[in-house]
Amino acid sequence: MAFCLLATLLAVELANRLPDADNGKATNYIDAHVHVWTPDTARYPLAPGFNKDNMKPPSFTPEELFKHCKPAGVGRINLIQMSFYGFDNSYMLDMIAKYPDVFVGTAVINPLGKDPAREMDDLAKKGVRAFRIHPKLSEQPVEKWLRPEGYKAMFAAAARNNQAMACLIGPDALPELDRMCTAYPDTPVIIDHLCRIGADGVIRDADVDRLCAMAKHKNVMVKVGAFYALGKKKPSYDDLAPLIKKMVAAFGARRCMWESDCPFQVQGDHTYQASIDLVLRRLDFLSDDDKDWLLRKTAENFFFVKKDAAPAK
């Protein structure tokens, strides 16, 4: 009897951790990058310069997201503040509060504001684990985009709070990021969308090499996703395999995390399942352990590890 009970418990644990042999899905994948928004602009107004025409699709609420991610086995998600809300993170924060077991967040704050480090401290209490940064926020040319004093305060606060600087950048912004990573080696940094390499349809070796060189910084991670926007921009995205292989070789699977970049990944011919299947089924250079890190463990260890729990190994 005891043996049967132990076997049953072990089977349940394995079902929760590993892909199912019949349907290829798991119950606990993590999507490291999703945007949500609501058509209720009265309660959640858009930032100056944006209007409802910018909301494409017009609505992408958590409930609409779940219709895509749950059938694919994704149960936890890092939300990214949407640009047309500006520095008002209210909708994202309210969704984190509504689904605290599902969501954490990446907020956007003003690096030129009065006290960005204090904002980071306050938002840490509300489930914000990272902060999106990009050259436009600094009002500086790309080669100097991290020079404002506010970024020094943010990088220092991020190291103290174990919050990440999440970079929406292209390869031309990497030299300045390299400088800051050298100055703040303990600051977690995440580079979104494979650094947008191939966004214009061309994957250049020089860009790939420049991104791979960032692996020398031990706290730099890379999001592997937004496949709909890179290279040939067509499912099943096999043309991106050499780029992803080089990223995993440089950073290791433990510093790479899969992202969908929904809702943009579920427009036109693109589907949520096609994005996850590229990692799960089509990259033959990945071991099962590599896939587990990309699809779950890397994001779990950074975004979802509890203070009193040991990170996955």
Residue range 28-64, pLDDT digits in tens: 999 999 999 999 999 999 999 999 999 999 999 999 9
User: Domain-by-domain residue ranges, the chain?
Assistant: 26-304
CA distances in angstroms from 177 to 43, 173, 180, 200, 217, listed in the order given: 36, 7, 5, 22, 11
- Residue 313 and residue 298: Cα distance in Å, rounded? 10
Q: How confident is the model at residue 122 (pLDDT cuts 50, 70, 90)?
A: very high
Evaluate whether 194 touches 226 at the Cβ level (below 8 Å). yes
- DSSP type of residue 301: I
The pair phi, psi for residue 118, each rounded to 5°, is -65, -40
Arch. (CATH architecture) of 26-304: Alpha-Beta Barrel (3.20)
Model pLDDT, residue 23: 43
pLDDT digit string, tens, across residues 70-113: 999 999 999 999 999 999 999 999 999 999 999 999 999 999 99
One-letter amino acid at 253 equals A
- Residue 58 and residue 300: Cα distance in Å, rounded? 30
Supply the angle between the helices 205-213 and 174-183 in degrees, to the nearest 10. Answer: 10
Mean pLDDT of the region 121-144: 97
Angle at alpha carbon of residue 279, lines to 309 and 61, rounded to 5°: 70
Q: How confident is the model at residue 306 (pLDDT cuts 50, 70, 90)?
A: confident
Model pLDDT, residue 1: 44
Greater pLDDT, 309 or 222? 222
Q: How confident is the model at residue 305 (pLDDT cuts 50, 70, 90)?
A: confident
Strand partners of residue 189: 165, 220
The model scores a pTM over 0.85:
yes
pLDDT digit string, tens, across residues 147-201: 999 999 999 999 999 999 999 999 999 999 999 999 999 999 999 999 999 999 9
The alpha carbon dihedral of 205, 207, 158, 133 has a sign of negative
Model pLDDT, residue 307: 61
Mean pLDDT of the region 122-131: 97
Mean pLDDT of the region 237-254: 98
Q: Is the pLDDT of residue 288 over 90?
A: yes
HEC states along 227-252? HHHCCCCCCCCHHHHHHHHHHHHHHC
Q: How confident is the model at residue 310 (pLDDT cuts 50, 70, 90)?
A: low
- Using CB atoms within 10 A of its CB, is residue 64 exposed (0-12), middle (13-18) or buried (19+)? middle
High-pLDDT (> 90) share of the chain, %? 88
- DSSP type of residue 102: T
Here the tokens at position 151 are: 């970024």
Q: For the chain, give percent helix, strand, coil, nearest 5.
A: 50, 15, 35
Evaluate whether 231 touches 196 at the Cβ level (below 8 Å). no
